[in-house]
Amino acid sequence: MQAILQCGRYNLPLNTGRPLVMGILNVTPDSFSDGGQFYSLDLALSQAEQMIAEGVDIIDIGGESSRPGVQPVSLEEELRRVMPILYALRDCGKPLSIDTYKPQVMREAIAAGADLINDIKGFREHGAVEAVAEADCALCIMHMQGDPQSMQRDPRYGDAVQEVSGFLSDRVKVLEQAGVARARLCIDPGFGFGKTLEHNLALLNNIGKMQDETGLPVLAGLSRKSMLGSLTGKPVEGRLAGSLAAALAATAQGARILRVHDVAETVDALKVWTATMVGPVGTKQKQEEEQE
């Protein structure tokens, strides 16, 4: 595994024994036409400030929800939501990620200084590979079966782990052929994106294998997802404990980046985890460091 993720203005260490924490910054639609834009910008900025105080490593800005069943937003609306935040946070001292699958948003975000492009469609939209190839930002390639509107209707796989790994490897090849350095890449099985609980659990239990086979860092997004609701019976606002347990399960598998809503709680859980860790994560990463 590479020691560093090349992430725009930043080189992020991957083998510290503790995964990086990516904090989710959702840009909510304006509730009022008058002054509403300033209100939501203010809210997003104070949320970012709080995440930074809590120890976030990467801030992931998203202008379109990809929760199951949600309708897409237009290019213009997504840019209106995301770009002011990106400009306002540019000098906050933390790498900025943009959660988008739209090539035009990628281009504008990169021009404005985005450090990472996080694409739930794995750079499959027409023009997406070209939009990011020449830049120096990191890329997160995620797997999704279907699209957010319909993906949870009837997800099916022969072998979910095989198919997701195969898809991710194919996208890695395409990006590398377009000139993207491997040091810019991370991969993501896409928890909850066209997967049953069984598929999600199989993928979670194979993060380590996926990472070993590709040699690329895995990013895991499990925070507050419905798979945790299925396991605990809790609604989305009652899933903090489940989210922390899932984050640690992914950490035990060696995941290098965790995408989370609850930064302070996750950072605490990881501090305790790494301090007490004598098992495969710490051992494995130490061995890799010694080899470097």
Ranges within 253-272 binding ligand PT1 (CB under 6 A): 259
Helix or strand holding residue 6 (H, E): strand 4-7
Q: Is 102 in the site for ligand PT1 (CB under 6 A)?
A: no
| Nearer to ligand PT1 among residue 120 and residue 248 (C-beta) | 120
In b/e form, how buried is each residue of 155-165, taking b as 16+ CB within 10 angstroms?
bebeebbeebb
Minimum distance from residue 48 beta carbon to ligand PT1 (Å): 17
Q: Is 225 in the site for ligand PT1 (CB under 6 A)?
A: yes
Q: For ligand PT1, which residue has the nearest CB?
A: 221
| Nearer to ligand PT1 among residue 58 and residue 89 (C-beta) | 58
Minimum distance from residue 78 beta carbon to ligand PT1 (Å): 13
Q: Is 67 in the site for ligand PT1 (CB under 6 A)?
A: yes
Minimum distance from residue 137 beta carbon to ligand PT1 (Å): 14
Q: What are 64's strand-pairing partners?
A: none
> Which residues neighbour 31 within 8 Å (Cβ) at sequence distance 6 or greater?
39, 40
Binder among 23, 221, 242, 254 for ligand PT1 (CB under 6 A): 221
Q: Is 226 in the site for ligand PT1 (CB under 6 A)?
A: yes
> Which residues neighbour 188 within 8 Å (Cβ) at sequence distance 6 or greater?
140, 141, 142, 143, 168, 218, 219, 220, 221
Binder among 6, 15, 47, 66 for ligand PT1 (CB under 6 A): 66
Pick the closest to residue 257 from 202, 186, 201 (CA basis).
186
- CA 274 → CA 18, 214, 268, 269, 281, distances in Å? 6, 25, 10, 9, 9
As a 3-state breakdown, the chain gives helix, strand, coil percent values, each rounded to 5, of: 45, 15, 40
Binder among 192, 194, 242, 254 for ligand PT1 (CB under 6 A): 192
Residues recognised as catalytic: 225, 259
CA distance 131 to 107: 6
Strands 4-7 and 10-13: antiparallel
Binder among 10, 101, 123, 191 for ligand PT1 (CB under 6 A): 191
| Nearer to ligand PT1 among residue 229 and residue 282 (C-beta) | 229
Contact pattern for ligand PT1 over residues 115 through 154, marking x by CB under 6 A: ---x-x-------------------x-x------------
Residues that bind ligand PT1 (CB under 6 A): 66-68, 99, 118, 120, 140, 142, 188, 190-193, 219, 221, 225-226, 259
